[in-house]
Amino acid sequence: MLVLTLFAVLLAPPDAKISMLNGQTHGGALSAISAADVEITENGALFKLPLEDVMAIEFPQIAPVASVESQMLFFFDGSQLHGSSIARTAKSLTAQTVLCGAIDANVDAIHAVRLQADNPSYTQQWNTFLKRNSEKDNLVVAKRDGSGLDFLAGIVSKVTSDNVEFLLDGETISVPAERVYGIVFGRLPGSQTGTAGPDVSIQLTSIAGDVCNAKTMILEGDQLKAESAWGQMVSVPFNQLQKIDLSNGRIQFLAEMPALLERFDGIDPANSLFAGLIPPDQQKLLFGPQRNMTIERQSKLRLRGREFARGLCIHSRSELQWELKKQFSAMDCVVGVDDEVAFNGSHAVLLKIMGDDNVLFEKLIATSDDPLPLRLALDGVSKLTILVDFGDGSSVCDWLDIAEARLVIAKEKP
């Protein structure tokens, strides 16, 4: 009986939280994903949600776990997968993964491989190698004294579990695989990576953040079957899913958009006691609007303990404007005074958001207020303007966060 009960639990539909582009959320048992719909049973009723209106599907009850595999593959499309038995020939790269099974990809799709277990002491250097643009392959090795990483530039012709064949200055040398920390493959200027931009980002249960980007997906039984961005069909058990992100091409983060206008009028109201004590250029350098970090540039945005990876931190008095060209239907965000200053007394800041000449939102936001979620309609709006002003005649605690600000791209009119 215990075996049958456990078997039934393993086959039970996963609990999911579904976020829609219109701001609504649904929660319940996920039963199917097709090319057109997502099926979910919510409060005993079956709903079919159009896939084109879904922004994300999350599985909050599935906890992340540490990967048992030490090697890692980095794809040009942004996919990252822990694996083992990484091997490369002149045309393809193969590996075994717990999360996605056997991997077989064209070499043009692979950006890098890490052949050794992650060493936190080398993380910063390794990430720097990943950002380099080189026409040659970089063979990255750990220095013998353990003080860091070094590299050789040449051509990698073959990778096996034992050796890496490396062409250096016209001579082929065989490097023991155990000496190689990783390889960042070169790319000729203007060359194609062999991968198209992903429509779906499948975030897996690995604590290290394994991600498989895909073009299409369907849920069949307890398996999510996806056509990966590098062209291979992969199958992932739903109990290894953390999140399915479908927002690519559907939203645009405001912090990543260049501002048409960015004006900072100073940190103190005119005629105040401290007005004019700091030169305007220095004020803007110290207190000007920041993207994805607070005014002090040392921490991410935080509202009542919740941290946000994206958003704007704007000090009064500032005005920012963006050109939207009527391309967006709505903006979602969470606003409030950043935790860095919110508990330093009772103060307030004024937030005013305009779409062209129309006021979309205006409110005095106090340090004691809870974070406020906003959804503002942007249909037909050409210019978006955000004004952060002195709310109480003082600039004290005027660190206003517009966190996770994202614009929903309008659908084409039929």
Structure tokens given for 236:
């992932």
In this structure, what is the dihedral angle of CA atoms 6, 12, 16, 20, given to the nearest 10 degrees?
170
CATH 2.60.120.1060 maps onto the chain at 252-409
Question: Considering only CA atoms, which of 361, 355, 405 is closest in space to residue 380?
Answer: 355
How confident is the model over 84-112, as pLDDT tens digits?
999 999 899 999 998 888 999 999 999 99
Contact 245, 56 (CB under 8 A): yes
Cβ neighbours of 213 (radius 10 Å): 24
Amino acid at 120: P
Answer CATH for 252-409 from 3.30.530.20, 2.60.120.1060, 3.30.70.20, 3.30.70.2190: 2.60.120.1060
How confident is the model over 320-336, as pLDDT tens digits?
999 999 999 999 999 99
Structure tokens given for 141:
């090795």
Contact 120, 127 (CB under 8 A): no
How confident is the model over 19-59, as pLDDT tens digits?
998 888 999 999 899 989 999 999 999 999 999 999 999 99
How far, in Å, are 69, 71, 172, 186, 191 from residue 93 at the CA level?
17, 13, 20, 15, 19
Instruction: Give DSSP secondary structure letters for 295-342.
Output: TTSSS-EEETTEEESSEEEEESSEEEEEE-TT-EEEEEEEEEE-HHHH
Work out the pLDDT band at 414, boundaries 50, 70, 90. Answer: very low
pLDDT at 6: 31
Q: Where are the alpha helices (DSSP H) in 54-195?
A: 123-131
The backbone torsions φ and ψ at residue 286, rounded to the nearest 5 degrees and listed phi first, read -85, -35
- pTM, whole model, 2 decimals? 0.78
Q: Which helix (H) or strand (E) holds 45?
A: strand 45-50
Query: For a pLDDT cut of 90, what percent of the chain falls above it?
Result: 66
Fold assignment, 13-58:
SH3 type barrels. (2.30.30)
The backbone torsions φ and ψ at residue 132, rounded to the nearest 5 degrees and listed phi first, read -70, 145
pLDDT at 10: 41
How confident is the model over 116-150, as pLDDT tens digits?
999 999 999 999 999 988 899 999 999 988 899 99
CATH 2.30.30.100 maps onto the chain at 13-58
Higher pLDDT, 304 or 132: 304
How far, in Å, are 221, 264, 278, 319, 346 from residue 289 at the CA level?
48, 8, 17, 9, 22
Cβ neighbours of 150 (radius 10 Å): 13
Structure tokens given for 23:
């701001």
pLDDT at 275: 55
Work out the pLDDT band at 270, boundaries 50, 70, 90. Answer: low
CA distance 31 to 28: 9
* pLDDT > 50? residue 1: no
